[in-house]
Structure 1
Amino acid sequence: MLAVVEGHPARQIRQEIDGETRLSGLGVAAEAVKGRVRWSNKLRQDHRLLAALEKLMQRLGPAGSRVPVQNVAKVVPFVGVFIGASMNSAILGSVAADAQRYC
């Protein structure tokens, strides 16, 4: 039983670290777009999430429209909330599954 109690926190910590690296990458991307006016190839290459959001917003908007950096910057916090909620849900599901398994 002790191995179970010790094993679960290690797995949970690994999951949290994986999620936090994703969120920190999102934070770096948010800092990169803060105050920017134009897109650059370097920005798109360094922050693939921003490039993906730009493509998604282009597809959702009118055909042939350009998406300003400011509009993508406004969406980044919502993506962070979605990623954070997903991480919390996964970790909580893991804890609940372990609780059912061992209780």
Structure 2
Amino acid sequence: MHTVDRRQAGDECGRSHGQNLKSAQLHGPVTGVEHFTETQGHVSALWNINRQLSFLLGPARMMALFAALSTITSTPHAFALCFAIGSALTLVPLVPVLRLDTPRVLALLAP
């Protein structure tokens, strides 16, 4: 069984705490972190609501599109058109992504 000397453990803990203090001094005040943890729950709830609405409204719209296309053309052709339109709609977010100022975004990510 491995035993640890308390002085050694305390020294390691002190070094770790000192490193945390140094990183806090380098990266700014701790209040930003505290604010982040307070708002993280609200952001998580908002993200979950958005995800649930997407899973509800996306299939509902695709079924409505399929029903509309089924009145115009045969069912297999309506299915193929609905699938093609759905596939094309997944590419729509690429337009704003390609317009992003990439160097500016990368600068925000750098410490």
Task: Judge same fold: TM > 0.5, yes or no.
Answer: no
Q: Which has the larger radius of gyration?
A: 2
TM, length-normalised to structure 2: 0.34
TM, length-normalised to structure 1: 0.35
Say which structure, 1 or 2, has more relative contact order (CA 8 Å, 6+ apart).
1
